[in-house]
C-alpha cells in the first residue's frame, strides 16, 4: 500500500514536470489563509457560537421541568395533600431553575476561556509568520 502511494506521488510530479528535488513538502509548512478565507472562517465560527448559545439557553428550563416532573410523580405516589405538594413543587422548580442558570453560566464562561485561548494562539502563529517573512 505504501508503494501505491509513492507511485501516485511520482505520477503527479511527472505530470506537472516537477523534479523530485523541486517538489515542496507542504506538510511541514503552515498554511496562510487569505483575508476572504479568514472572514468566512470567522463568520462560520460566529454562527456556531450562536447555535451553541441557543442550545445552552434551554438548559435551565429543561432541568427545572425534569426535576418538577420527578417531584410531582413522587409526591403523588406518596399521597401528599394538594397544598403541601404545590408549595414543595414551587420551591423545587425555583431551586432547580437557579441551579440550571449556574450551570449555564459556567458553560458560557468555559467557552469564553476556550475562545480567548484560541485567539491568543492565533496571534502567536501570526506573529511567528510575520517574523519569518522579515528579511534578516
Whose grid coordinates read 403523588?
A: 76
Between CA 125 and CA 123 the distance in angstroms is: 5
pLDDT (mean) for 49-68: 92
Question: pLDDT-derived band of residue 40, with 50, 70 and 90 as boundaries?
Answer: confident
74 vs 14, higher pLDDT: 74
Helical packing angle, 35-57 and 82-133, nearest 10° = 170
CB 28 within 8 A of CB 127: no
Instruction: For the beta carbon of residue 37, count every other beta carbon within 10 angstroms.
Output: 11
Amino acid at each position: 500500500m505504501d508503494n501505491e502511494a509513492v507511485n501516485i506521488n511520482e505520477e503527479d510530479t511527472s505530470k506537472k514536470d516537477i523534479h523530485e528535488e523541486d517538489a515542496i513538502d507542504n506538510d511541514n509548512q503552515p498554511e496562510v489563509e487569505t483575508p476572504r478565507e479568514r472572514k468566512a472562517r470567522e463568520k462560520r465560527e460566529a454562527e456556531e457560537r450562536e447555535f451553541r448559545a441557543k442550545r445552552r439557553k434551554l438548559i435551565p428550563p429543561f432541568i427545572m421541568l425534569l426535576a418538577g416532573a420527578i417531584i410531582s410523580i413522587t409526591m403523588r405516589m406518596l399521597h401528599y395533600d394538594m397544598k403541601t405538594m404545590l408549595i414543595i413543587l414551587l420551591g423545587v422548580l425555583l431551586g432547580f431553575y437557579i441551579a440550571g442558570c449556574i450551570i449555564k453560566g459556567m458553560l458560557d464562561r468555559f467557552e469564553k476561556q476556550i475562545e480567548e485561548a484560541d485567539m491568543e494562539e492565533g496571534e502567536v502563529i501570526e506573529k511567528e509568520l510575520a517574523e519569518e517573512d522579515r528579511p534578516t
